[in-house]
Amino acid sequence: NKRTKIKQLLATGEAGQTVTVMGWVRTFRNNQFIALNDGSTNNNLQVVATLGSFDDALLKRLTTGASVKVTGEIVASVGKGQTLEVKANTIEILGDSDAEKYPLQPKKHSLEFLREKAHLRFRTNTFGSVFRVRHSLAFAVHEFFNRKGFVYLHTPVITASDAEGAGEMFRVTTLPLENLPKTEDGAIDFKEDFFGKSANLTVSGQLEGELGAMAFSDIYTFGPTFRAENSNTTRHLAEFWMIEPEVAFNDLEDNMNLAEEFIKYLIQYVMDHNREDLSFLAQRLAEEEKQLPQDKRSELGLIEKLEFVLNNDFERLTYTEAIEILKESNHNKKKKFQYPVEGWGVDLQSEHERYLVEKHFKKPVILTNYPKEIKAFYMRQNDDGKTVAAMDILAPGIGEIVGGSQREERLDKLEQRMKEMHIPAEELSWYLDTRRFGTVPHAGFGLGFERMVLFVTGMTNIRDVIAFARTPNNCEF
Ligand code: 4AD
Ligand code: MG
């Protein structure tokens, strides 16, 4: 059963060839022109059912959404917008689609509406482009690290550790709810719920990744991670995908270089392989922005923005320097923040991050050396006693896209920091072993995959770049 994909056919087909194509009817016009789509491209294939050659009964079934198999001959097209079309010899309906009930009309639907039609939104041009670009980005992730000789390490989804120490874990239990062990005051005792032990869904593969780096030198993870934070924003998911490289012998600067090279590689890959989809998304974004007031529109189009990021170094500065800029801008009334930055030590809000990248530097920014109080226990302590060797990458329109650090490789320093943060050492002794037997300086970071897809596609809501979004009010299928 040889099938030609429509993208391939439109690119390399030749008049006179006989082909079989299969797909879904987008529209059927004048009782003879089928616009057929099989998801390989947004360009529909025009299939011509020559008048008089097919039964009325069959033609009636060529409704929007119906699936068909067509065998026919490629011919040069006289219609506008396409060079080739297929003159059908046989048309077989594989699956009917009741035109009265089909939820999608051949018009523009809102993204919110489509989010509720998960089974059909893939059939729209916008989501076709988004998910083909997402696929390419995933492929490019593996290509980048494979070329560099990294080992792809599969870290567990079910784990006992809270890597980030932020307490945002989904608990995993094997017990029926009514049998969950209770503490003295009647609360559920989660210490014993996974075959008698405590377990949760991973918030990050980093700690396990560090074990890999202590043997393979260079590893990366790429998998789903989970955060039970009840935040309803356009940047947060309860289940998202993260890429986490971890590299032995790297320091913070190596880490920044790797992250910048990685992000640029991903962008370049999509520019090289997904031109058609990017152009479509760029146009979509431009039209969307026409609805916005002048001062809310982007200065650059999507493709120009990506080119700009490729061709310019990311701005690198310390947290302390950033705080000075933010205090200054608030002081000069250049920018009124909802939460004015009063002094050193505060965590940055997304309004601050976005001011730095979008207004002040107008390019991606890498912030380093954050106060230790606002960062995780595993980050390497700097000699000043106040900061850690952290790095966050902030992207225009997104905010934080990468979080990472050089790790604390000195056992005594790490144990002391864990004690200060009330993290029980016995629970992490498997992790501390890496510092006991041949510890080395090392560093790594996590790139939020959906935030990267947002950046590259110009979409604005993170729910629109993942196939099945998991957010506080969204888990129906
Ligand atoms: O900054 P985070 O929490 O860092 C870590 O998890 C480290 N263990 C990474 C490492 O050093 N190996 O998360 C990393 C990135 C963020 O910068 C953000 O892009 C993304 O993951 N992220 C989320 N994306 C979508 N929804 C959420 N709820 C996210 N939380 C973090
Ligand atoms: Mg972070």
Query: What would the pLDDT profile of 392-442 be if each residue is shown by its tens digit?
Result: 999 999 999 999 999 999 999 999 999 999 999 998 999 999 999 999 999
Contact 355, 329 (CB under 8 A): yes
- Does position 195 have pLDDT exceeding 70, yes or no? no
Q: What is the mean pLDDT of residues 270-297?
A: 94
Among protein residues, the one whose CA lies closest to atom 29 of ligand 1: 236
Q: Which pLDDT band holds residue 244 (cuts at 50, 70, 90)?
A: very high
* Tens-digit pLDDT profile for residues 338-347: 888 888 999 9
Name the superfamily (CATH) of residues 6-102.
Nucleic acid-binding proteins (2.40.50.140)
β-bridge pairing 45-48 and 84-95: parallel
Q: Average pLDDT in the 54-82 region?
A: 93
Instruction: Characterize the bridge pairing of strands 239-248 and 442-448.
Output: antiparallel
Question: CB under 8 Å to 111, separation ≥6 — which residues?
Answer: 126, 461, 464
Least confident of 275-289, 307-321, 328-342: 328-342
Q: Which ligand is nearest to the CA of 163?
A: 1
Please give the sequence-ordered ranges of beta strands (E in DSSP) within 38-83, or none if there are none: 45-48, 67-76
User: pLDDT tens-digit profile of 364-395?
Assistant: 999 999 999 999 999 999 999 999 999 999 99
Which is more confident, 268 or 193?
268
Q: Ligand 1, residues 370, 451, 456, 466: which to mutate, most atoms within 8 A of Cβ?
A: 451
Size of the chain, expressed as the number of residues it contains = 477
330-340 average pLDDT score: 77
Query: 392 alpha carbon to ligand 2 midpoint, in Å?
Result: 7
- Answer yes or no: is the ipTM higher than 0.90: yes
Q: Which residue has the tokens 């995933």?
A: 138
Cα separation, 380 vs 357, in Å, equals 26
- Whether residue 72 is predicted with pLDDT greater than 90 in this model: the reply is yes
Question: Over 90: is that where the pLDDT of 337 sits?
Answer: no
Please say if the pLDDT value at position 239 is more than 90: yes
> How far apart (Å, rounded) are the C-alpha atoms in residues 254 and 217?
14
Q: Which atom of ligand 1 is nearest the CA belonging to 404?
A: 11
pLDDT band at 198 (very low <50, low <70, confident <90, very high): confident
- CATH 3.30.930.10 range(s) for the chain read 125-168+203-314+363-464
Distance 452 CA to ligand 2 centre (A): 14
Q: How far apart are CA 350 and CA 353, in angstroms?
A: 5
The reply to whether ligand 1 has any atom less than 6 angstroms from the CB of 28 is no
- Report the candidate in 22, 28, 27, 26 with the shortest Cα–Cα distance to residue 8: 22
**Stronger pLDDT, 335 or 285, i.e. the higher one:** 285
pLDDT for the residue numbered 104 = 84
Compare 193 and 182 and report the one with higher pLDDT: 182
CATH superfamily ID and name for 125-168+203-314+363-464:
Bira Bifunctional Protein; Domain 2 (3.30.930.10)
> Is residue 470 helix, strand or coil?
coil
What residues pair up with 315 in beta bridges, in sequence order?
Answer: 365
Report the alpha-carbon distance of residue 163 to residue 222 in Å, rounded. 16
pLDDT of residue 336: 78
Could you report the per-residue pLDDT of 108-164, keeping only the tens digit for each?
889 998 988 887 899 999 999 999 999 999 999 999 999 999 999 999 999 988 878
| CATH 2.40.50.140 domain range(s) in the chain | 6-102
Distance CA 32, CA 59 (A): 8
Provide the token pair at 202: 């991973």
Q: Which two tokens stand for residue 7?
A: 């993208």
| Res 193: pLDDT | 54
pTM over 0.80: yes
User: What average pLDDT does range 466-477 have in this prediction?
Assistant: 82
Mean pLDDT of the chain: 93
Q: Which atom of ligand 1 is nearest to the CA of 209?
A: 12
Closest CA to 21 of 56, 52, 46: 46
